[in-house]
Amino acid sequence: MNRTSPSTPDFDAIKSKQNASWASGDYALVGSTIQIMAEKLAETMNLAPPAKVLDVAAGSGNASIAFARRWHDVTSTDYVESLLAKGKARAGVFGYRINFETADAEALPFDSDAFDAVVSTVGVMFAPNQEQAAAELTRVCKPHGLIGLTNWTGSGFIGQLLKTIGQHVPPPPGVNPPAVWGDEAWLKDTFAGTVQDIRCSKRDYTFRYKDAGHFVEVFRTYYGPVHKAFLALDEPRQQALADEITALIARFNRATDGSMDVPAEYTEVVMVR
């Protein structure tokens, strides 16, 4: 029986709602636009092939494809089966042989020290039990192996977008915001004693859309957390949320021609187990 105290979040219930959220819309359409983040991580890690690589919370397979492209032996995992199916379809187009397995980032179904490298691109950061997810990343990585992550920062565009959504549809109580994974101090504190070295680099991914309205329409249609947030609101509050997202875009936008050119800060992390 799963028992929780008032101060302990019901992680199973939270993950069930998250699963439904990420399965809604079509994350693969949005996720494929940020493929370059996974490619940059693979270049930074510079693994000698063929390494045995685990992609955690892989979504539709950005990191899986990036590392398979470099001749590594990749296992791609996520707890949303529809996203894994999209990743498998993408891999099939290129002819990459990737092993796809349904798995919870907080309870990975693999032996300890099983992989030469463990990676996650803006994926594991959404696991609600963050300390448990961090422990699993290190558990399945071999000693002296590498753990590579890309995580949105709280002060960056996506961190602020998630904060804006949370003001309209409050997140579960007792759970840290996902963007803490983009904070170097939090990472060093959380992984202290389990990794030998941790290197963090701030990078930007640029969201380029026709205009702010185009971005809002794409994200409310395809990006699970935004899609579900709009569905949870009545029409006036949907308009209020759309207006706030538009204002947020204006705050970050570098374009002067009416289009959208918004840098989104993230932290690229490479740790030595």
Q: What is the pLDDT of residues 94-128, one digit of tens each?
A: 999 999 999 999 999 999 999 999 999 999 999 99
Count Cβ atoms within 10 A of the Cβ of residue 189 and give its class: 0-12 exposed, 13-18 middle, 19 or more buried.
Answer: exposed
What pLDDT, on the 0 to 100 scale, is given for residue 136?
A: 98
Residues 58-67 pLDDT 10s: 999 999 999 9
**Tens-digit pLDDT profile for residues 200-252:** 999 999 999 999 999 999 999 999 999 999 999 999 999 999 999 999 999 99
Angle, CA 61 vertex, CA 141 and CA 126 arms, to 5°: 70
Q: What backbone torsions phi and psi does residue 70 show, to the nearest 5 degrees? A: -100, 20
Q: How far apart are the C-alpha atoms of 111 and 120, rounded to whole Å?
A: 18
State yes or no: cis peptide before 171, omega within 30 of 0.
Answer: no
User: Would you say 156 and 267 are in contact if contact means Cβ atoms under 8 Å apart?
Assistant: no
Q: What is the pLDDT confidence band of residue 3, given thresholds at 50, 70 and 90?
A: very low
* 22 contacts: CB under 8 Å, gap ≥ 6: 59, 80, 83, 224, 225
Q: At what angle do helices 235-252 and 212-222 cross, to 10 degrees?
A: 130
Q: Is the pLDDT of residue 1 over 50?
A: no
Distance CA 59, CA 247 (A): 29
Mean of all residue pLDDT scores within the chain:
95
Mean pLDDT, rounded, for 67-76: 98
Task: Measure the CA–CA gap between 144 and 73, rounded to whole angstroms.
Answer: 18
- In this prediction, residue 52 has a pLDDT band, given cuts at 50, 70 and 90, of very high
Tell whether the torsion through CA atoms of 10, 11, 12 and 16 is positive or negative: positive
Q: Is the per-residue pLDDT at 261 higher than 80? A: yes
Task: Give the phi and the psi of residue 63 in degrees, each rounded to 5.
Answer: -70, -35
Q: Which amino acid is at 24?
A: S
What's the average model confidence in pLDDT over 147-155?
Answer: 98
Domains of the chain and any CATH numbers: 11-153+171-206+264-272 (3.40.50.150)
Q: Are 46 and 119 in contact (CB under 8 A)?
A: no
Has residue 270 got a pLDDT over 80?
A: yes
**Predicted pLDDT at 22:** 85
Q: Which of 146, 84, 87, 91 is nearest to 115 (CA)?
A: 146
Please, what is the end-to-end C-alpha distance for the chain in angstroms? 34
Predicted local confidence at residue 16, as pLDDT: 86
Element (H, E) at 258: none
3-state DSSP assignment of residue 226: helix
In DSSP terms, which residues pair with 272 in a beta bridge? Answer: 146, 197
- Whole-number pLDDT of residue 7: 65
Q: How far from chain centre, in Å, is Cα 88?
A: 18
Long-range interactions of 163-172: CB distance < 8 A, separation 24+: 164/241, 164/244, 164/245, 164/248, 165/225, 165/226, 165/229, 165/241, 167/244, 168/229, 168/233, 168/237, 168/240, 168/241, 168/244, 169/228, 169/229, 169/232, 169/233, 172/9, 172/10, 172/14, 172/128
